[in-house]
Structure 1
Amino acid sequence: MQLIDSRYIMASPEVVWAALLNPEVLKDCVPGCESMTGSAEDGFEAVVAQKVGPVSARFTGLVKLSDLDIGKGLTISGEGKGGPAGYAKGGAKVTLEPIEGGTRLSYEVEANVGGKIAQLGSRIIDSFAKKMADTFFERFQTAVEGPAEAEEGTDETQKKGWFKRLIS
């Protein structure tokens, strides 16, 4: 399964880059993530609980960051084992491009599964993988920007995510 998409994030590439390397941000963005420990240099160990169709599993695995081009892009790759349910592995090539008012975050996601999960069929797997990627990058955008809040008396929205507030 392969997915290519992009998001416009109203934060500088430096802020987006710092968020991509932060284990707390990653933990909050991965759907079903119960824990994430480690560092960007050594990799992260993660525990993720998911239900794919009728199959529920708790995956334990390793997430590594590679091809780091500071402030411009990186590759996120991971592999998790879910016991009898099977395994999942994949990655995302992420690029950051400065735009007026923020950053364009583009990503190419590739995912593979095996075991019981693979027996569900490609339509279910592809749909699940797309939903996981969309949810991750939506949560990531919200963590950096914050939810849109209308300012009293104006139509403009002010955004500032918890991560952006933390480093500001």
Structure 2
Amino acid sequence: MDFKGSQTIKAPRSLVWKCLNDPEVLQNCVPGCQSFTAASDDEFLATVTVSVGPVKANFKGNLKLSNRVEPEGYRIAGQGEGGIAGFGKMNAEVALSDAGEETVLSYVADAEVGGKLAQIGARLVASVANKLVAVFFQRFNDTVSELAAQQ
């Protein structure tokens, strides 16, 4: 599954970058996120509950950041295990650019699933994944824009 898109955020790039690296902000933006903690400067551990059709599972996994160039972007590699439900893997590139006083956040990602999730059907899994991505970026945009308005 491939995902790409962009969001224009009403905030300066420095604030968007700071929030992209803040575990608390990220936890609040990830749908179904139960925990999101920093294991190191470049690695986060997360527990996320996801429902896809008849399958509901808690996924435990990690995200590793690399190719970090402040405040331009980074690469994310993530994987999660959901027990009998299966597994998920994801790689993404996130880039930030200025748009006047706003910031454009662009992303390109690919993901794969295995186990029961893969048996459900690619269309349903892709539909749910697209919805989760959209919800994350909308929450992130709203959170960062609100923080910028308070400054």
With the shorter chain as reference, the TM-score category is over 0.9
Match of 1:87 in 2: 87
Output the aligned Cα RMSD: 1.4
**Alignment match, 1:9:** 9
Shift of 1:14: 0.4
Larger Cα-atom Rg: 1
CA distance in 2, matches of 1:121, 1:103: 36
Is the CA contact 1:4–1:108 (under 8 Å) kept in the aligned structure 2? yes
Contact 1:15 1:164 in 2 (8 A): no
The answer to whether the Cα contact below 8 Å between 1:23 and 1:39 also exists between their aligned partners in 2 is no
Number of corresponding residues: 151
Secondary structure, counterpart of 1:71 in structure 2: coil
Q: Is the 8 A contact 1:5 1:108 kept in 2?
A: yes
Name the aligned partner's letter for residue 127 of structure 2: S
**1:103 is aligned to 2:103:** yes
Letter in 2 for 1:54: P
Gaps of 5+ in 1: 147-160
The answer on whether the counterparts of 2:31 and 2:136 sit within 8 Å (CA) in structure 1 is yes
- The structure 1 segments of at least 4 consecutive aligned residues displaced by more than 2 Å after TM superposition are none
Q: How far did 1:67 drift?
A: 1.1
Say yes or no: does 1:59 pair with 2:56: no
Query: Hey, what does 2:73 align to over in structure 1?
Result: 73
* Pairwise CA distance, 1:92: 2.0
Letter of the 1:4 counterpart: K
Quote how far apart the aligned CAs of 1:77 are: 2.0
Aligned to 2:125: 125
1:145 maps to which residue? 145
CA distance in 2, matches of 1:139, 1:41: 23
Give the CA deviation at 1:132. 1.1
Give the C-alpha shift of residue 94 in structure 1. 0.6
Give a deviation string over 1:36-86, Cα, whole Å, max 9, x none. Answer: 111562411100011111101000011111110110011122100000000
3-state secondary structure, aligned to 2:48: strand
Q: Is the 8 A contact 1:40 1:65 kept in 2?
A: no
Amino acid at match of 2:31: P
CA deviation digits over 1:78-102, x for unaligned, max 9? 1000000000110321100011121
Q: TM-score, normalised by structure 1?
A: 0.85
Percent identity among equivalent residues?
43
Matches for 1:40-59 after TM superposition, within 5 Å:
41-59=41-59
C-alpha distance after superposition, 1:16-43 (max 9, x if no partner): 0000000001101111000011156241
